[in-house]
Amino acid sequence: MSRIIRLLPLLLLPVVLGAAPEPKLHLIGDSTMANKPTDPPNPEHGWGQMLPQFFRDPAMVVNHAVNGRSTKSFIDEGRWQQVLDELHPGDYVLIQFGHNDEKLEDPKRGTTPDGTYADNLRRFVRETRAKGATPLLATPVARRKWDASGHLVDTHGAYPDAMRHVAREENVPLLELQKLTTAMEEQAGVEGSKKIHLWIKPGEYARLPDGRQDDTHYSEYGATRVAELAVQEMRRLELPICRWLK
Protein backbone atom coordinates (compact mmCIF):
# COMPACT_ATOMS: atom_id res chain seq x y z
CA MET A 1 0.00 0.00 0.00
CA SER A 2 2.77 2.45 0.92
CA ARG A 3 4.42 1.80 -2.50
CA ILE A 4 1.15 2.67 -4.26
CA ILE A 5 0.86 5.89 -2.27
CA ARG A 6 4.42 6.87 -3.26
CA LEU A 7 3.58 6.25 -6.95
CA LEU A 8 0.38 8.32 -6.93
CA PRO A 9 2.10 11.71 -7.58
CA LEU A 10 3.81 10.23 -10.66
CA LEU A 11 0.57 8.70 -11.91
CA LEU A 12 -1.26 12.00 -11.50
CA LEU A 13 1.47 14.11 -13.17
CA PRO A 14 0.08 13.84 -16.73
CA VAL A 15 -3.34 14.86 -15.46
CA VAL A 16 -1.90 17.92 -13.74
CA LEU A 17 0.15 18.90 -16.80
CA GLY A 18 -2.83 18.41 -19.09
CA ALA A 19 -4.85 20.78 -16.92
CA ALA A 20 -2.77 23.79 -18.00
CA PRO A 21 -5.04 26.56 -19.34
CA GLU A 22 -5.31 26.80 -23.11
CA PRO A 23 -3.67 29.88 -24.64
CA LYS A 24 -5.45 32.74 -26.36
CA LEU A 25 -4.64 33.58 -29.96
CA HIS A 26 -4.91 37.37 -30.24
CA LEU A 27 -5.30 38.79 -33.77
CA ILE A 28 -4.22 42.33 -34.61
CA GLY A 29 -4.62 43.81 -38.04
CA ASP A 30 -6.88 45.61 -40.49
CA SER A 31 -10.26 45.16 -42.17
CA THR A 32 -9.26 42.05 -44.11
CA MET A 33 -8.87 40.29 -40.75
CA ALA A 34 -11.52 42.06 -38.66
CA ASN A 35 -14.89 40.81 -37.45
CA LYS A 36 -17.83 42.27 -39.39
CA PRO A 37 -21.36 42.91 -38.12
CA THR A 38 -23.83 40.20 -39.09
CA ASP A 39 -27.23 41.82 -38.46
CA PRO A 40 -28.73 42.68 -40.87
CA PRO A 41 -27.11 39.97 -43.02
CA ASN A 42 -23.72 41.10 -44.23
CA PRO A 43 -21.83 39.49 -47.13
CA GLU A 44 -18.49 40.87 -45.87
CA HIS A 45 -16.33 38.81 -43.51
CA GLY A 46 -12.78 39.15 -42.26
CA TRP A 47 -10.62 36.04 -42.37
CA GLY A 48 -9.94 36.37 -38.65
CA GLN A 49 -13.70 36.18 -38.13
CA MET A 50 -13.72 32.72 -39.71
CA LEU A 51 -10.64 31.40 -37.87
CA PRO A 52 -12.34 30.28 -34.60
CA GLN A 53 -14.20 27.46 -36.37
CA PHE A 54 -10.89 25.64 -36.91
CA PHE A 55 -10.14 25.42 -33.17
CA ARG A 56 -11.60 22.92 -30.74
CA ASP A 57 -12.51 25.88 -28.52
CA PRO A 58 -13.46 28.84 -30.74
CA ALA A 59 -13.18 31.19 -27.75
CA MET A 60 -9.40 30.77 -27.93
CA VAL A 61 -9.33 33.26 -30.82
CA VAL A 62 -9.65 36.91 -29.77
CA ASN A 63 -9.94 39.22 -32.75
CA HIS A 64 -8.72 42.78 -32.09
CA ALA A 65 -8.36 43.69 -35.80
CA VAL A 66 -10.17 46.88 -36.84
CA ASN A 67 -11.14 48.33 -40.20
CA GLY A 68 -8.80 50.94 -41.61
CA ARG A 69 -5.96 50.53 -39.13
CA SER A 70 -2.25 50.51 -39.81
CA THR A 71 0.58 49.60 -37.45
CA LYS A 72 0.80 53.30 -36.60
CA SER A 73 -2.87 54.02 -35.93
CA PHE A 74 -3.32 50.75 -34.03
CA ILE A 75 -0.61 51.91 -31.62
CA ASP A 76 -1.54 55.61 -31.52
CA GLU A 77 -5.20 54.86 -30.69
CA GLY A 78 -4.16 52.79 -27.67
CA ARG A 79 -5.42 49.54 -29.20
CA TRP A 80 -2.05 47.82 -28.88
CA GLN A 81 -1.85 48.69 -25.20
CA GLN A 82 -5.28 47.11 -24.68
CA VAL A 83 -3.99 43.89 -26.26
CA LEU A 84 -0.88 43.94 -24.08
CA ASP A 85 -3.03 44.37 -20.99
CA GLU A 86 -4.90 41.15 -21.90
CA LEU A 87 -1.83 39.03 -22.68
CA HIS A 88 -0.78 36.15 -20.45
CA PRO A 89 2.29 33.92 -20.64
CA GLY A 90 1.73 31.23 -23.24
CA ASP A 91 -0.60 33.33 -25.41
CA TYR A 92 0.01 34.12 -29.09
CA VAL A 93 -0.31 37.35 -31.07
CA LEU A 94 -0.85 37.06 -34.83
CA ILE A 95 0.08 40.31 -36.60
CA GLN A 96 -1.10 41.25 -40.12
CA PHE A 97 -0.78 44.84 -41.31
CA GLY A 98 0.14 46.51 -44.59
CA HIS A 99 -3.02 47.55 -46.45
CA ASN A 100 -3.28 50.87 -44.64
CA ASP A 101 0.40 51.44 -43.85
CA GLU A 102 0.70 51.94 -47.62
CA LYS A 103 -1.47 55.09 -47.48
CA LEU A 104 1.38 57.54 -47.18
CA GLU A 105 -0.91 60.46 -48.00
CA ASP A 106 -2.60 59.91 -44.61
CA PRO A 107 -0.27 61.02 -41.80
CA LYS A 108 -2.37 59.17 -39.22
CA ARG A 109 -1.83 55.81 -40.92
CA GLY A 110 0.99 55.92 -43.45
CA THR A 111 4.35 54.33 -42.62
CA THR A 112 7.47 53.64 -44.67
CA PRO A 113 8.31 49.95 -45.24
CA ASP A 114 11.85 49.96 -43.88
CA GLY A 115 11.15 52.76 -41.43
CA THR A 116 8.11 53.14 -39.18
CA TYR A 117 6.39 49.98 -40.47
CA ALA A 118 9.36 47.75 -39.62
CA ASP A 119 9.92 49.58 -36.32
CA ASN A 120 6.29 49.05 -35.31
CA LEU A 121 6.46 45.36 -36.19
CA ARG A 122 9.58 45.02 -34.03
CA ARG A 123 7.73 46.75 -31.20
CA PHE A 124 4.81 44.31 -31.46
CA VAL A 125 7.24 41.38 -31.44
CA ARG A 126 9.39 42.52 -28.54
CA GLU A 127 6.55 43.68 -26.30
CA THR A 128 4.66 40.44 -26.95
CA ARG A 129 7.69 38.44 -25.87
CA ALA A 130 8.16 40.64 -22.81
CA LYS A 131 4.72 39.43 -21.66
CA GLY A 132 5.76 35.80 -22.08
CA ALA A 133 3.63 35.39 -25.22
CA THR A 134 4.62 34.30 -28.74
CA PRO A 135 4.47 36.69 -31.72
CA LEU A 136 3.50 35.47 -35.20
CA LEU A 137 3.75 37.59 -38.35
CA ALA A 138 1.55 37.25 -41.44
CA THR A 139 2.28 39.01 -44.72
CA PRO A 140 -0.66 41.09 -45.98
CA VAL A 141 -3.22 39.26 -48.10
CA ALA A 142 -3.40 39.96 -51.83
CA ARG A 143 -5.93 42.23 -53.49
CA ARG A 144 -7.89 41.16 -56.54
CA LYS A 145 -6.29 43.45 -59.11
CA TRP A 146 -5.70 42.16 -62.64
CA ASP A 147 -3.80 43.78 -65.49
CA ALA A 148 -5.01 43.84 -69.09
CA SER A 149 -3.24 40.56 -69.84
CA GLY A 150 -4.95 38.70 -66.98
CA HIS A 151 -2.06 38.69 -64.51
CA LEU A 152 -2.55 39.55 -60.85
CA VAL A 153 -0.91 42.85 -59.87
CA ASP A 154 1.02 43.10 -56.59
CA THR A 155 -0.33 46.15 -54.75
CA HIS A 156 1.75 45.90 -51.58
CA GLY A 157 5.13 47.04 -52.84
CA ALA A 158 7.96 46.73 -50.33
CA TYR A 159 5.80 46.07 -47.26
CA PRO A 160 5.73 42.24 -47.41
CA ASP A 161 9.51 42.10 -47.84
CA ALA A 162 9.94 44.48 -44.91
CA MET A 163 7.87 42.09 -42.79
CA ARG A 164 9.89 39.11 -44.01
CA HIS A 165 13.07 40.94 -43.01
CA VAL A 166 11.72 41.62 -39.50
CA ALA A 167 10.66 37.97 -39.19
CA ARG A 168 14.19 36.80 -40.02
CA GLU A 169 15.85 39.45 -37.87
CA GLU A 170 13.67 38.75 -34.82
CA ASN A 171 13.33 34.98 -35.45
CA VAL A 172 9.54 35.14 -35.65
CA PRO A 173 7.39 32.47 -37.37
CA LEU A 174 6.00 33.94 -40.59
CA LEU A 175 2.69 32.98 -42.20
CA GLU A 176 3.15 33.63 -45.93
CA LEU A 177 -0.37 34.79 -46.64
CA GLN A 178 0.61 37.16 -49.44
CA LYS A 179 2.07 34.38 -51.59
CA LEU A 180 -0.70 31.91 -50.75
CA THR A 181 -3.55 34.34 -51.38
CA THR A 182 -1.90 35.46 -54.62
CA ALA A 183 -1.83 31.82 -55.76
CA MET A 184 -5.46 31.41 -54.66
CA GLU A 185 -6.57 34.44 -56.71
CA GLU A 186 -4.60 33.32 -59.76
CA GLN A 187 -6.00 29.81 -59.58
CA ALA A 188 -9.56 31.19 -59.41
CA GLY A 189 -8.93 33.48 -62.39
CA VAL A 190 -10.33 36.88 -63.33
CA GLU A 191 -13.99 35.86 -63.08
CA GLY A 192 -13.74 33.10 -60.49
CA SER A 193 -11.94 35.36 -58.01
CA LYS A 194 -15.02 37.60 -57.77
CA LYS A 195 -16.52 34.89 -55.54
CA ILE A 196 -13.65 35.40 -53.09
CA HIS A 197 -14.45 39.10 -52.76
CA LEU A 198 -17.54 41.30 -52.69
CA TRP A 199 -19.20 41.44 -56.08
CA ILE A 200 -22.76 42.04 -54.92
CA LYS A 201 -25.69 42.73 -57.24
CA PRO A 202 -28.05 45.63 -56.42
CA GLY A 203 -30.91 44.47 -54.21
CA GLU A 204 -29.17 41.26 -53.16
CA TYR A 205 -28.63 42.51 -49.59
CA ALA A 206 -30.69 45.11 -47.74
CA ARG A 207 -27.43 46.33 -46.21
CA LEU A 208 -26.11 47.10 -49.72
CA PRO A 209 -29.12 48.22 -51.76
CA ASP A 210 -26.91 49.53 -54.60
CA GLY A 211 -24.68 46.46 -54.63
CA ARG A 212 -20.91 46.57 -54.33
CA GLN A 213 -17.76 45.74 -56.25
CA ASP A 214 -14.90 45.40 -53.76
CA ASP A 215 -11.66 43.64 -54.65
CA THR A 216 -9.97 44.01 -51.26
CA HIS A 217 -12.44 42.62 -48.72
CA TYR A 218 -13.81 39.12 -48.52
CA SER A 219 -17.05 37.26 -48.89
CA GLU A 220 -17.78 34.55 -46.32
CA TYR A 221 -16.40 32.03 -48.81
CA GLY A 222 -13.22 34.04 -49.42
CA ALA A 223 -12.62 34.73 -45.73
CA THR A 224 -13.00 31.03 -44.95
CA ARG A 225 -10.51 30.14 -47.68
CA VAL A 226 -7.95 32.57 -46.24
CA ALA A 227 -8.51 31.28 -42.70
CA GLU A 228 -7.82 27.78 -44.06
CA LEU A 229 -4.55 29.05 -45.51
CA ALA A 230 -3.59 30.57 -42.15
CA VAL A 231 -4.23 27.21 -40.45
CA GLN A 232 -2.23 25.49 -43.19
CA GLU A 233 0.69 27.80 -42.41
CA MET A 234 0.44 27.13 -38.67
CA ARG A 235 0.71 23.42 -39.40
CA ARG A 236 3.61 23.93 -41.82
CA LEU A 237 5.47 25.89 -39.14
CA GLU A 238 4.63 23.19 -36.58
CA LEU A 239 3.51 25.79 -34.07
CA PRO A 240 2.63 24.44 -30.61
CA ILE A 241 -0.79 26.07 -30.87
CA CYS A 242 -1.66 23.43 -33.51
CA ARG A 243 -2.42 21.01 -30.70
CA TRP A 244 -5.69 22.93 -30.19
CA LEU A 245 -6.74 22.77 -33.84
CA LYS A 246 -9.56 20.43 -34.82
Predicted confidence at residue 162, as pLDDT, reads 98
Within a domain: 99: yes
The parent domain of residue 204 ranges over 22-244
Within a domain: 42: yes
Within a domain: 97: yes
pLDDT > 80? residue 207: yes
Q: What is the CATH number of the domain that holds 184?
A: 3.40.50.1110
Predicted confidence at residue 85, as pLDDT, reads 98
Using only C-alpha atoms, the chain has a radius of gyration, in whole angstroms, of 20
Q: Distance (Å, rounded) from C-alpha 158 to C-alpha 114?
A: 8
Q: Distance (Å, rounded) from C-alpha 156 to C-alpha 168?
A: 19
DSSP for 57-83, please give it: SGGGEEE---TT--HHHHHHTTHHHHH
Q: Distance (Å, rounded) from C-alpha 223 to C-alpha 195?
A: 11
Looking at the DSSP assignment, which residues form a beta bridge with residue 93? 26, 135
Within a domain: 33: yes
Within a domain: 12: no
Q: Distance (Å, rounded) from C-alpha 95 to C-alpha 134?
A: 11
pLDDT > 50? residue 8: no
Quick: pLDDT tens for 175-184. 999 999 999 9
Q: Is the Cβ–Cβ distance between 87 and 93 less than 8 Å?
A: yes
Task: Provide the number of structural domains found in the chain.
Answer: 1
Predicted confidence at residue 21, as pLDDT, reads 80
- What's the pLDDT band for 214 if we cut at 50, 70, 90? very high
Predicted confidence at residue 77, as pLDDT, reads 98
Predicted confidence at residue 13, as pLDDT, reads 41
Within a domain: 209: yes
Within a domain: 92: yes
Within a domain: 130: yes
